[in-house]
Every structure is written in structure tokens, then in C-alpha cells.
Amino acid sequence: MNTDDDFWGITEAINSKATPGAIGSWISMVNKTEGRDKLLKIVQFGARFFKWQSSKADAAIWNNLYLSVQEGRKSVRVLKGINKVDQIFDEVPKADSLFEKSLIFGNWMCMALFWHWDYILYAHKIKFVKLDEPIFKRMSQLPGLFRILHLKPN
């Protein structure tokens, strides 16, 4: 297509990385692990939204999509806790006071522990590891505890 004939600017929008409609931007995002996770998150929560907005018969279809994408995202994010520990080493030295360093350390350590316990439970769910029922019940409370303790950074 000749760019002189591009009355609506479609070719420029597709070729430009600065616009949300640019194919190149989407491809580079999906080629990264975090980008794939974000794209799947859009699908997952879109399915959840449509589940709420659908009839009872269609809600089951949307719920199945939601649950399957949720499981897929968990398997892709294995070892994500290591990223949080890495953030501790990146951000703590930059903090000015001991109080600020403690907050940063606690924040990212809680998230690392959240991911750690969540994936042990996921490994049990997919039958990769076998946990006794009382241990599983106690452990299933830990991710929520660490998620509550996690402070959202500004």
C-alpha cells in the first residue's frame, strides 16, 4: 500500500510503536514473559467480566476460560519470587534511612514469600508434590497472609 493513499493513517498507526494499535508494540510485548502474562491477565479478567454479564448458560463457558487461563498464568510465573528477592538487592541500597530500607525489605520479602507458598500449593494441586491434608490446609492460609502484609509501592 502506498503511504500517499493512506487517508485514514492506518499504515502509519500499524507501523508506529508509539500508538496502542501498533502491531510491532504488541509483538514485542508478547515476546517477553511479563508481556505474555499481562496479555493473559487481560483475557483472564475479561472472561471474568463476561461471566458476570452473561446468561447462566454462557457464564459457565466464560468461567471455564477464566479458570484455564488462571492455571496457565500460574504455571508461567513459576519462580517469580526470585524476582522479588532481586528487587530487594536493587532497591534497599538506594533507600536513605534504615526505616525506609526496612519497609522496602519487608514489602518485597512478603511478596517473595507469597509467591513461594502459592507455588508450593500449585504444585500440590497439579499433583507434582503430595502434601498431607492438615499441612495443605495450614499452608493454604500463608499466601493470603503475606499478600495482606505486602505494602503497595507508591
At residue 91's C-alpha, the angle toward residues 85 and 96, to 5°, is 140
Which residues have CB under 8 Å from 127's CB, separation 6+?
none
Task: Give residue 9's region: left, alpha or beta (phi > 0; psi -120 to 50).
Answer: left
Query: Is 112's pLDDT higher than 90?
Result: no
Q: What is the mean pLDDT of residues 131-150?
A: 75
Query: Full-prediction pTM beyond 0.75?
Result: no
Pull the grid cell for residue 76.
Answer: 508461567
Query: Is 117's pLDDT higher than 70?
Result: yes
Report the pLDDT value the prediction gives residue 23, as an integer from 0 to 100.
Answer: 66
Please identify which residue in the block is written with the cell numbers 499478600. Answer: 147
In Å, how far from its chain's centre is CA 110? Answer: 16
Report the pLDDT value the prediction gives residue 125, as an integer from 0 to 100.
Answer: 81
Of the listed ranges 9-18, 60-69, 77-86, 118-127, the least confidently predicted one is 9-18
Query: Is 152's pLDDT higher than 60?
Result: no
Q: Residue ranges per domain, the chain?
A: 8-77, 79-154
Of the listed ranges 14-23, 46-55, 114-123, 137-146, the least confidently predicted one is 14-23
Cα-trace Rg, the chain: 21
Query: Is 36's pLDDT higher than 90?
Result: no
Please identify which residue in the block is written with the cell numbers 483475557. Answer: 43
Which residues have CB under 8 Å from 136's CB, separation 6+?
121, 124
Residue 22: pLDDT band (50, 70, 90) is low
At residue 50's C-alpha, the angle toward residues 45 and 51, to 5°, is 95
How are the residues of the chain apportioned to helix, strand and coil, as percentages rounded to the nearest 5? 75, 0, 25
Query: Is 26's pLDDT higher than 50?
Result: yes
